[in-house]
Amino acid sequence: MESPSRSPFALLVFESCSCERLAVGRAIDKPFSMAATPKVHERERRRHFQKCRSGRGLGWLAITLALVSCDNDKIEVYKIPKEAVNAATQSGPPSLVPPTAIPAQWSKPDGWIEQPLSEMRLASFKVDGANNASADVSVNAFPGEAGGLISNINRWRGQLQLSPLDEDQLSQIIQRTEVDNVPTFLVDFQTAENSPNPSRLLGAVLQDADRTWFVKMTGSPELLEDQRQKFLAFVKSFRFTSRTEAESAAPAVSNTPKSTNDK
């Protein structure tokens, strides 16, 4: 009996690189023999399975190496100077950075306890009163007009859950004066009469030539009534110096991180 020619099916199965199809393809491709036994076919099939399995392992290894080598030429390493990292982490919005030298001086009233400063506060005090009551006093300064007088006063009103007022309404309740030849605006606000948490705010806005100063005292209405004259005396004690004089007299600036508080 003549051997059958290689069929297209056998070639297609061989090139598919599937273990089972490869073994079948080889069996079909061989001349048919009546003397072949099931054991012979079984040995042939196992031999081709082993070859295909080992070939598959080498194929995956080659693919993995190829992928790794393809990505190697795309990997780039950048080195950032330590100074640049420190500058990026320590820098903040320019308008919120306190001056290295405070161009003003003031006199602390008796009984006011100095508190730790922060990035926003140039001075901070606590005032104790009767029945465990206490008041908070803060001093802040920001370049320029710092948003404007009307918006800042309405922001203070919002802290007491009071509605904002327009310029004409505020002009009737703002007290105007001067402190060391600097225009100064004084306000006195209190929460609504039936508020569950009664609070009062005494505030002063001092508009210096190159920056605006905010002095604020908050606490219970009774305590602030007792401290009102001391607060006014504190505001009137401000003395402003030129930038050159302040920088020449400035102490060393600490690099200790500080928390942020609203003005």
Average pLDDT of every residue of the chain: 73
3-state secondary structure of 49: helix
- Main-chain dihedrals φ then ψ at residue 246, nearest 5 degrees: -65, -40
**pLDDT tens digit string along 136-193?**
999 999 999 999 999 999 999 999 999 999 999 999 999 999 999 999 999 999 999 9
- Give the three-class secondary structure for 64: helix
Instruction: Summarize pLDDT for 75-131 with one digit per residue, the tens.
Output: 444 343 444 334 333 433 334 444 557 889 999 999 999 999 988 899 999 999 999
Q: Give the model confidence (pLDDT) of 15-29 as tens digits.
A: 444 444 433 344 444
For residue 94, the 8-state DSSP code is G
Q: Which CATH code is given to the segment(s) 93-248?
A: 3.40.1000.10
Coil, strand or helix at 257: coil
Three-state helix/strand/coil letters over 60-104: HHHHHHHHHHHHHCCCCCCCCCHHHHHHHHHCCCHHHCCCCCCCE
The structure tokens listed for 50 are 């082993």
- List the domain boundaries for the chain: 8-72, 93-248
CA dist., res. 218 & res. 68, Å (int): 65
